[in-house]
């Protein structure tokens, strides 16, 4: 009960038999700081180990999921589980929020004119043909490009 958040990680190892209760915010800070120390995406198991192993795996997952909902961490699929990484800065957080906006908008084409639209079944081949063609700005070979 007496341990502060900062020394919690060192402290828990010799008090493993005596489980102590911690506030939600404290655990989130611990998990987040563990993620920041990692260089690259890590699994929840890695975080659990890093924290000394006194937290249940499911607890770590719960905290990570809560951090994900808050936009403080992101995750990517790695094999059968997820690899987690902290959202480093404002830009990362903004990217995360923007993705949520775009994913929520099913018909995003209708709202934001994006630079390119999706490619049809034959478009990729056609596009490679067009771009692979030698020529300069005065190139006028487009007979097969327009919709006939």
Partner 1 sequence: MGVFVFLPLILPLTAWPVARLAEQHLHPRTATRLLTGVAAVMAVCSTVCLALLMVVGTAQLPGNPLPDGWSDPEVREAVPYDEVAGKAAIPALGAVALACGRTLWRHCRTRGRAHRALAGLPGTAVAVLPDKVPYAYALPGGPRDRIVVTTALLGSLEPAERRALFAHERAHLAARHHRHLLAVQLAARANPFLRPLRTAVAYTAERWADEDAARVVGSRRTVARAIGRAALVSRGAPLATLAGFAAPGPVPRRVAALLAPAPAGRRWPSVFTTAGLAVWGATAGTAVSAMASANSAVTMIAILHAATPL
Listed ranges 10-18, 23-31, 34-42, 117-125: which one lies at the site for partner 1 (CB under 8 A):
117-125
Return the structure tokens found at 30: 């611990």
Would you give the binding string for partner 1 spanning residues 43-82, x where CB under 8 A is met?
----------------------------------------
Name the DSSP class of 143: T
Closest CB to partner 1 among 1 and 139?
139
Q: What is the DSSP string of 9-45?
A: HHHGGGGTTS-----HHHHHHHHHHHHHHSSS-B-HH
Rounded Cα distance between 72 and 87, Å, is: 5
Q: Is residue 146 involved in binding partner 1 (CB under 8 A)?
A: yes
What residues line the site for partner 1 (CB under 8 A)?
88, 90-95, 97-102, 104-105, 108-124, 126-128, 130-131, 133, 135-142, 144-147
């Amino acid at each position: 009960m007496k341990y502060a958040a900062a020394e919690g990680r060192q402290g828990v190892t010799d008090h493993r038999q005596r489980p102590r209760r911690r506030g939600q915010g404290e655990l989130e800070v611990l998990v987040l700081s563990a993620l920041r120390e990692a260089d690259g995406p890590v699994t929840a198991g890695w975080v659990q180990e890093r924290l000394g192993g006194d937290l249940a795996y499911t607890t770590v997952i719960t905290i990570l999921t809560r951090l994900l909902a808050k936009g403080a961490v992101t995750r990517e699929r790695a094999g059968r589980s997820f690899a987690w990484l902290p959202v480093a800065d404002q830009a990362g957080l903004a990217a995360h929020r923007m993705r949520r906006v775009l994913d929520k908008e099913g018909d995003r084409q209708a709202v934001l004119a994006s630079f390119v639209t999706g490619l049809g079944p034959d478009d990729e081949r056609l596009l490679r043909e067009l771009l692979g063609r030698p020529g300069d700005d005065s190139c006028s070979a487009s007979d097969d490009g327009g919709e006939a």
